Amino acid sequence: MDNIPKPILDALKGLVYVDDNQVTDLVCRKRYLNDEMEILTDLASLERALSSRIEFLHIVVEDAPQQEVVSWYRTRLLPKGN
């Protein structure tokens, strides 16, 4: 699964951002179509893709959380040295 993000980031360069060094957060998940799952969105395109039972890639691009919030969270919840 770790081979998935790099070509996607490269393909989005110039379309979504100028350079992939602007990407600060990345979440990658793999789901199996045969597994039961709950979809909490009303995206018709995602519903069609799931209904087709054919493997697909779903990409969401959004603003990253404020870095100050992430830093505050890390310093208070993670043990020293992490």
Dump pLDDT digits (tens) for 15-42.
Answer: 988 988 888 888 888 888 888 877 777 7
Q: How far apart are CA 17 and CA 39, in angstroms?
A: 28
Q: Is residue 82 part of a domain?
A: no
Number of domains in the chain: 1
Dump pLDDT digits (tens) for 39-55.
Answer: 777 788 888 888 888 88
Quote the tokens at residue 74: 């890390």
- What is the share, in percent, of the chain residues with pLDDT greater than 90? 10
Q: Which candidate, 60, 61, 38, 62, places its Cα nearest to that of 50?
A: 38
Q: Is residue 47 part of a domain?
A: yes
Residues 6+ apart with CB under 8 A from 31: 37
Q: Is residue 33 part of a domain?
A: yes
Q: Is-contact 9 15, C-beta < 8 A?
A: no
pTM: 0.57
Q: Which residue segment(s) compose the domain that 45 sits in?
A: 5-77
pLDDT at residue 58 in the model: 83
